[in-house]
Amino acid sequence: MAGQGVGYIFRALGANFAIAVAKGVGAAITGSGAMLAETLHSLSDCVNQVLLLVGLKQSARPPTPQYPLGQGRNLYFWSFMVAMLLFLGGGAYSIYEGIHKLQHPSSLSSPVIAIAILGFSLATEGWALSGALKAIKARRGDRPLIQYLRETKDSDLVVIFGEDFAACIGLGLALAAVVVTAVTGNPVFDALGTLCIGAVLVGVAVFLATEVKSLLLGESADPALLEVIHQCAAEDSRILKVLRTLTVQQGPGEIVVALKLQYQPDLTTQTIVESINKFEVRLQDRCPEVKWSFVEPDDTD
């Protein structure tokens, strides 16, 4: 939700930036080209967080004639772009690098520095991940984590969690690969590690892209809202039946509700208007995320 604080994005940005600096120092000390490439890679990770911040800013724009429902969906758009970058710049790039290393194996020049940097990075990413998990915990309540990730409309949090999670797994794999390579002296393990990291990043990116794309196309709101709508309708005896309801998640924390209600046949204009307006007040009280509602009196579905 745009209003619930974005500390976890800044935390991830800070973590990635610190990692980029550590890798840069490592590159300067060892003069290793691979470490320089890693530095650039971590800097490009920072771009992802900047894109999410751009998305949050754009999604807060007020409605205009061109965008009568505001621009909340901009956050889903930029979240999708981040998933794409994670796929290409993260996953596809790592797989390419792994294949390259398999074809031209080179022995590790300074495993101690590499292990130190990877250990530092793992601690930093773990810190960022714990921030995202804390934010998720506060929102998911009793729902299991995977169910929350699939159902939530807060794409920025899911994307940040996915990125941090993939980064931690990736760093763990890299650490294992470097240690095994240093012990056995066989650089093939380093290449295999890179390939595994690429596979993890591709998998996470595909999951994120699928979830965010669904939101971008126009998902319905949480189905629990339908029950709230029926309750609100049942509390007014003049409303006979809910004929049709339609909910659309416009952006994080922004829901459009459109419904058709069947009223008693002999009410006057004023009574119907009053009943509809009270219904809308009840609905928005119980679900403040409903930002637009259109209630039409009708006779058949």
Stretch that binds other proteins, among 139-147, 160-168, 200-208, 289-297 (CB under 8 A): 289-297
Length of the chain: 301
Are the C-beta atoms of 80 and 159 separated by less than 8 Å?
A: no
Among 128, 167, 276, 287, binds other proteins (CB under 8 A): 276
**Token pair recorded at residue 161:** 């969690």
Give the number of C-alpha atoms closer than 13 A to the C-alpha of residue 108, restricted to the C-beta side: 23
* Bridge partners (DSSP) listed for residue 295: 259
The Cα–Cα gap between 209 and 299 comes to 41
Measured from the CB atom, the residue of 81 and 173 that comes closer to other proteins is 81
Interface with other proteins (CB under 8 A), residue total: 46
Backbone angles phi, psi at 71, to 5 degrees: -125, 30
Asked if 62 interacts with other proteins (CB under 8 A), we say no
Amino acid at 116: A
* Bridge partners (DSSP) listed for residue 242: 261
Among 119, 277, 285, 286, binds other proteins (CB under 8 A): 277
Per DSSP, 88 falls in state I
Measured from the CB atom, the residue of 16 and 59 that comes closer to other proteins is 59
Among 92, 102, 115, 272, binds other proteins (CB under 8 A): 272
Asked if 203 interacts with other proteins (CB under 8 A), we say no
Binding residues among 227-266 for other proteins as defined by CB under 8 A:
246-248, 250, 258-260, 263-266
Asked if 223 interacts with other proteins (CB under 8 A), we say yes
**How would you label 61-81 residue by residue, b for 16+ Cβ within 10 Å and e otherwise?**
eeeeeeeeebbbbbbbbbbbb
**Which contiguous run of DSSP H or E holds residue 254?**
strand 254-263
Measured from the CB atom, the residue of 195 and 233 that comes closer to other proteins is 233
Residue 277: which residues within 8 A CB-CB, separation 6 or more?
none
Among 57, 140, 143, 213, binds other proteins (CB under 8 A): 213
Measured from the CB atom, the residue of 165 and 263 that comes closer to other proteins is 263
Measured from the CB atom, the residue of 11 and 73 that comes closer to other proteins is 73
Are the C-beta atoms of 242 and 259 separated by less than 8 Å?
A: yes
Binding residues among 63-122 for other proteins as defined by CB under 8 A:
65-69, 71, 73-74, 76-77, 84
Interface residue list for other proteins (CB under 8 A): 65-69, 71, 73-74, 76-77, 84, 213-214, 216-220, 223, 246-248, 250, 258-260, 263-270, 272-273, 276-277, 292-299
